[in-house]
């Protein structure tokens, strides 16, 4: 579908130049790409806080050069994440059927968060101290759009163990699209402090997450309790995914790394075929073993590494 494809350009949150697909109508350019599934569309929420007022107004420009860095990144990174799932996993958008990918930037005032809200992604601008505009991180965009895929597939309930798996799956694919590191949010977290991030998959304890099932944190299933610590206990599965890809010895268990690409294949297959809404960590282990068996055979190194990675984090 290369008919009427128009290219726009601009600088992202970090000042980096990039190009992306735009649309042109009645003499104005819009952050709307039409070549990917049902389209990639990016809106300015103008600081609204109520979902009823979203998505806001589609971001436009008199020329094909766009000046809003948060909007440029939300748009360009949504394209990148769409392309990752299409090219690597053969998935056409989050629903597998070309659903339009909608994002709103400038949501709320100085909001230090981003989310998938069931119909679209929303990004705060950050307060400039804890966060820059959150769409400035490809791994954050990948994390949020993966929530949409999870909702349409395993539909992992967002509390307790299934919720921690939901969070971890978003971290895993957020890291996979942002190839090269195992940190989440490093590009937008604490602009005045370099080298940090809001989560680490290689060393979850660095940001107060458990890295072994024996250290699972029991919190109430309430908003204040992070629905049973879904953003905390995700560290356990994140560490298993990291060990599977990179290898290492953890609590005395040695894991042979199989690389990021095979690890992504295994988690994608587990998510879309074997995990269910009430899956536990033990179910995740079995789902990953099944996926790896399908892909590489029951006697493969890949299956052995999955078993060892989960044993290393105390999940059997
Ligand atoms: N950034 C958070 C997340 O994606 C927002 C939330 O908790 N819904 O997990
Ligand atoms: Zn999340
Ligand atoms: Ca990262």
**pLDDT tens-digit series, residues 53-93:** 999 999 999 999 999 999 999 999 999 999 999 999 999 99
**pLDDT tens-digit series, residues 261-277:** 999 999 999 999 999 99
> Ligand 2 centroid vs 206 CA: distance in angstroms?
19
**pLDDT tens-digit series, residues 170-220:** 999 999 999 889 999 999 999 999 999 999 999 999 999 999 999 999 999
Every domain of the chain and the residues it spans: 1-152, 155-316
The answer on pLDDT for 2 being more than 60 is no
- What confidence tier does 3 reach under pLDDT thresholds 50, 70, 90? low
- What confidence tier does 1 reach under pLDDT thresholds 50, 70, 90? very low
Catalytic residue among 89, 106, 143, 144: 144
**pLDDT tens-digit series, residues 12-36:** 999 999 999 999 999 999 999 999 9
Strands (E), 172-276: 183-184, 199-200, 248-250, 253-255
Closest to 117 measured CA to CA, from 49, 189, 44: 49
Ligand nearest the Cα atom of residue 117: 1
The answer on pLDDT for 250 being more than 80 is yes
Nearest atom in ligand 1 to the alpha carbon of residue 147 is 4
Q: Does domain 1-152 have CATH number 3.10.170.10?
A: yes
Average confidence score pLDDT of the chain:
98
> Ligand 2 centroid vs 127 CA: distance in angstroms?
19
Q: What is the ipTM of this complex?
A: 0.94
In contact, 233 and 207? CB cutoff 8 Å: no
> Is position 89 annotated as part of the catalytic site?
no
148 CB less than 6 Å from ligand 1?
A: no
Nearest atom in ligand 1 to the alpha carbon of residue 231 is 9
> Is position 47 annotated as part of the catalytic site?
no
Query: Which listed CATH number (1.10.390.10, 2.102.10.10, 3.40.50.720, 1.20.1250.20) goes with 155-316?
Result: 1.10.390.10
Closest to 244 measured CA to CA, from 177, 300, 166: 300
Residue of the nearest CA to atom 8 in ligand 1? Answer: 115
**pLDDT tens-digit series, residues 30-63:** 999 999 999 999 999 999 999 999 999 999 999 9
| pLDDT value of position 5 | 85
Contacts with 162 (C-beta within 8 Å, 6 or more apart), sequence order: 156, 277, 278, 279, 280
> Ligand 1 centroid vs 114 CA: distance in angstroms?
6
144 CB less than 6 Å from ligand 1?
A: yes
114 CB less than 6 Å from ligand 1?
A: yes
In contact, 170 and 150? CB cutoff 8 Å: yes
Nearest atom in ligand 1 to the alpha carbon of residue 226 is 7
pLDDT over 70, % of the chain: 99
């Amino acid at each position: 579908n290369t008919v009427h494809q128009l290219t726009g350009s601009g600088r992202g949150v970090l000042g980096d130049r990039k190009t992306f697909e735009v649309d042109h109508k009645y003499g104005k350019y819009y952050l709307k790409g039409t070549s990917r599934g049902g389209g990639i569309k990016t809106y300015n929420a103008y600081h609204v806080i109520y979902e009823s007022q979203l998505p806001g107004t589609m971001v436009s420009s008199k020329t094909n050069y766009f000046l809003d860095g948060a909007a440029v990144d939300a748009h360009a990174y949504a394209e990148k994440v769409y392309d990752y799932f299409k090219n690597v996993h053969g998935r056409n958008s989050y629903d597998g059927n070309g659903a339009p990918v909608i994002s709103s930037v400038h949501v709320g005032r100085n909001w230090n968060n981003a989310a998938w809200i069931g119909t679209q992604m929303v990004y705060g601008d950050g307060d400039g101290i804890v966060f820059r505009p959150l769409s400035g991180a490809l791994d954050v965009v990948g994390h949020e759009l993966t929530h949409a895929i999870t909702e349409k597939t395993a539909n992992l309930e967002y509390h307790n163990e299934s919720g921690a798996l939901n969070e971890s799956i978003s971290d895993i694919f957020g890291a996979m699209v942002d190839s090269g590191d195992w940190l989440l949010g490093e590009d937008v977290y604490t602009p005045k402090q370099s080298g940090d991030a809001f989560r680490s998959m290689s060393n979850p304890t660095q940001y107060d997450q458990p890295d072994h099932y024996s250290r699972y944190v029991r919190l109430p299933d309430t908003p204040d309790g992070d629905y049973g610590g879904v953003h905390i206990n995700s560290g356990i599965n994140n560490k298993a995914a990291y060990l599977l890809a990179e290898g290492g010895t953890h609590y005395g268990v040695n894991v042979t790394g199989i690389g990021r690409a095979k690890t992504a294949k295994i988690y994608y297959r587990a998510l879309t075929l074997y995990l269910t809404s009430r899956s536990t960590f033990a179910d995740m282990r079995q789902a990953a073993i099944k996926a790896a068996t399908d892909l590489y055979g029951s006697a493969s190194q890949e299956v052995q590494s999955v078993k060892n990675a989960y044993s290393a984090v105390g999940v059997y």
